[in-house]
Chains A and B, each alone.
Chain A
Amino acid sequence: MAEPDHRDRGCPVGRDEERWGWPDMRFSGFRLVAEALRGHSGWKPLWRDPAPQPAYDVVIVGGGHGMATAYYLAKTFGQARIAVLDKGWVGGGNIGRNTTIIRSNYLLPGNEPFYELSMTLWEGLEQELNFNAMVSQRGVLNLCHTDGQRDSFRRRGNAMRLAGADAKLLEADEVRAMAPFLNFDNARFPIKGGLLQGRGGTARHDAVAWGYARGADVAGVDIIQNCEVTGFDIDNGRVTGVQTTRGPIRANTVGVAVAGNSGRVMGLAGMRLPIESHVLQAFVTEGLKPAIPGVITYGAGHFYISQSDKGGLVFGGDIDGYNSYAQRGNLPTVEDVVEGGMALMPMIGRARLLRSWGGVMDMSMDGSPIIDATPVEGLYLNAGWCYGGFKATPASGYCFAHLLATGRPHEVAAAYRLDRFARGHVIDERGAGAQPNLH
């Protein structure tokens, strides 16, 4: 199969620095040595901390996907007078509360091309941003435990390849060569093989937030932190600005990208969404020597694991399953996750947990996101990322910027419409129906 050319999709493959000359190259080996000799006193903040101006062309609410949106809006789509509002600090929301996995291993046509665009953007991200996001394509391996599951993996792998992604179906002995520590002969759930996406892997979540923030700032975007939106100004069905904890800000266009809190924020604009907020927990062990080669997911329980560059085993499982804005979960889910881990790789029982945390997810009614205009003119929504938002950050930002700049959805995000539920065009990878805690 020929390599897909993502330029055809109107997507930047960001290596052309002549098009985008950085005003100052702040990081280099020379600079690091020089700073080491003067006690690192010469480093400057990576972005400005401006007070909000009275008016902008575009206000983006949310500093995660929103930051990526602002970056592409300024840089690729040439828009000016952009502000990103974050209720906390850059990297303090869900972009800093995830398990850092990147992958494009979806089945459905509404999803897979989008996530594959995201994967190609990940592959060029560090060059694009001139920032080390520690993108590590160490592979994502989904394990299968039954013949039926292998069949479904084969189908998904073929769908991935049709969309230009990579996928390889592995037999059990190939999995054993990669990860000999797995419990292959578990009586109930023996490992029969797996679906490997070699280009998948991990990226350092904080550095992604910081890289986009620096890039947006350099492109002229005002990053306004500790600025929570408390209301929308809507005049005759058209948005004219936002009310915030730092005062009113006028805007022609407002984009909301606050996954986890979408229901709460859009409620301020009088909208009910096909979304429930749920809490997802994740866990890190003490640092260990390298043991786990890539990302591994258990096919008989909900458990996924990888090892960070620092050595900690990073893992997670199911959402707790009830509506929550608490950013912390309960112990039964902790037990459920670690039981899954013990069933898959008994050696994990020897590792000690260092910490755990909870993030609040927009669980949508079909398990897929929304990038669309709303019934309020000038107000746009980016939401419903369930627990898969991190890997989508580049494409979500790119496609949302496309929508904000042109008023039209990007080709690969065309299925993520807000009205798809009413039209019956849901994108339900799990086939679970309108039951958010099952997606």
Chain B
Amino acid sequence: MLIPHPLLGPRDAQEFTYLGDARLLERPDPAAENAEARFCDYVYLRDNPAGVHRELWFHEHGDRSWLVVTRDTVTHEILGAELAADVKGAGA
């Protein structure tokens, strides 16, 4: 699989390590009333879709950026990649 790095162009997925669902960027508020239940869901539960999946990849053998890669889990087709810092910044 080739991941289209937003800064460096196409890179072999072998240069990356995989974390999982990009919803891991949405860390619950530890001060919220139901924080314990929300953290349990956050840490352990996954949508695990068969199809389009937004997921976190770390460019370990590269520029050490976290990317949000959009990929089809049925075909392995990679549909896009963004810097996680941009995604997080936009959501904050």
Where the two chains meet, the residues of A that have a C-beta atom closer than 8 Å to any C-beta of B are 261, 263-264, 267, 272-277, 321-326, 330, 332, 365, 421-422, 434-437
Contact = CB atoms under 8 A, between A and B. Distances in A.
B40 interface: yes
Given A277-B73, A321-B18, A421-B40, A263 B13 contact: no
B20 A330 contact: no
A437 B46 CA distance: 13
B45 A277 contact: no
A437 B20 contact: yes
A263 B47 contact: yes
Interface stretch (B26-34, B48-56, B79-87): B48-56
A409 B60 CA distance: 44
A277 B48 contact: yes
Contact of A324 (B17, B21, B46, B73): B73
Nearest to B75: A326
B48 A323 contact: yes
B1 interface: yes
**Listed residue (A273, A323, A326) with the most chain B CB atoms within 10 angstroms of its CB:** A323
A323 B45 contact: no
A326 B71 CA distance: 12
A267 B50 CA distance: 11
How many chain B residues sit at the interface, stated as a range, is: 20 to 34
A272 B13 CA distance: 28
A323 B44 contact: no
Nearest to A436: B20
Contacts of B18: 321-322, 437
**Listed residue (B19, B37, B45) with the most chain A CB atoms within 10 angstroms of its CB:** B45
A207 B26 CA distance: 47
Nearest to A277: B48
A264 B55 contact: no
Interface of B: 1, 12-14, 17-21, 37, 40-41, 43-50, 53, 55, 71, 73-76
Contact of A326 (B40, B41, B46, B74): B74
Given A263-B46, A264-B48, A272-B41, 13 more contacts: A263-B49, A264-B50, A267-B48, A274-B45, A275-B46, A276-B20, A277-B50, A323-B55, A365-B44, A421-B43, A434-B44, A436-B20, A437-B20
A324 B55 CA distance: 12
Contacts of A277: 48, 50, 73
B46 A276 contact: yes
Contacts of B37: 422
Contact of B43 (A322, A323, A434): A434
A273 B49 CA distance: 11
Contacts of B55: 322-323
Nearest to A420: B44
Contacts of B75: 326
Contacts of A275: 46, 48
A323 B17 CA distance: 12
A325 B45 contact: no
A326 B43 CA distance: 25
B51 to A, nearest CB: 8
B50 A274 contact: no
Given A330-B1, A422-B40, A272 B76 contact: no
B48 A276 contact: yes
CB-based closest 8 A-B pairs: A263-B48, A421-B44, A274-B44, A272-B45, A325-B50, A332-B14, A322-B18, A422-B40
Given A322-B55, A332-B13, A273 B73 contact: no
A138 B38 CA distance: 48
Contacts of A321: 17-18
Contact of B73 (A323, A332, A422, A434): A323
Contacts of A422: 37, 40, 44
